[in-house]
Amino acid sequence: MKNRKKDDGAQFGLGVTAYQQKDMETAARALNNAMNSDDKSLASKAMYNLGNMFRDQQKMEESLALYRKAIELDPTDEDAKVNYELLKQVLQQQEQQQQQDKQNQEQDQEKQDQQKQDQDSEGQDEQNKNQDNQEKGEDQQQSQSEKEEEKKEQQHSQAKKDETQAQKTDKQMQAEAILNALKDQEKINQKRQIAKSKSRKLEKDW
């Protein structure tokens, strides 16, 4: 029994020395042997030192579990209690930070999605605006074409009216010429009748 206890003590001493010399493989093996000791105080110290080693290696969950076991074996180990509480706070802060980071990532993703949605909406608005401008341009072009067509029709109508007026004027001139000719002929006829009448008178007097 004494030899076993002595061996456990030697393993503990070897583990601590190796840990101080940064020989983690030897330290882990020796301290694992020591933590199985029947001496609860020695086993508690071995677990405490293993907890420190895992903490240095950023194996926080394993370190916290070893500190808790060390306290269970030796409730009077103040160093184990202090390290346990400090590490517990660190893990809580890390968890909170992870949750905050996750929340920030979700918010960033939502922001990016919203920006993309806004850009898509702006793009659609711009497309609708361009389409409206195009339709407006087409309407203006159609309106201009209709105005030009209406102007052509007015010009054609005016030309036809002028032509009709010119034809009417020609007909009036022809009618006036005929009328004047008839008047002239009537005057000639009247003169002839007067001449005949005078001639008859002369014959009668004679």
- What does the alpha-carbon distance between residue 52 and residue 45 come to, in Å, rounded to a whole number? 11
Lowest mean pLDDT among 7-16, 71-80, 151-160: 151-160
Q: How many domains does the chain have?
A: 1
The answer to whether 91 touches 59, Cβ cutoff 8 Å, is no
pLDDT at 6 over 90: no
Q: Count how many Cα atoms sit within 13 Å of the Cα of residue 165 in the half-sphere of its side chain.
A: 6
Q: 0.85 cut: is pTM over it? A: no
pLDDT digits (tens, 9 = 90+) for 66-85: 999 999 999 999 999 999 99
**Could you tell me the residue range of the domain that residue 17 belongs to?**
2-76
Based on C-alpha coordinates, what's the Rg of the chain? 63
For residue 61, being part of any structural domain is answered with: yes
pLDDT at res. 134: 87
Q: Is 165 inside a domain boundary?
A: no
pLDDT, tens digit, 9 for 90 and up, residues 165-176: 767 677 777 877
Euclidean distance between CA atoms 24 and 128, whole angstroms: 69
Task: Identify whether 47 is part of a domain.
Answer: yes
Residue 88, token pair as written in the block: 């517990």
Is residue 17 domain-resident?
yes
- 134-139: long-range contacts, CB 8 A cutoff, minimum separation 24: none
136 in a domain, yes or no? no
Q: Is residue 198 part of a domain?
A: no
Give residue 39's region: left, alpha or beta (phi > 0; psi -120 to 50). Answer: beta
Is residue 161 one of the residues assigned to a domain?
no
Check which CATH number belongs to the domain holding 7 and give it: 1.25.40.10
Four-point Cα dihedral 13, 19, 23, 26, nearest 10: 40
Q: pLDDT digits over 34-54, tens only?
A: 999 999 999 999 999 999 999
178 assigned to some structural domain: no
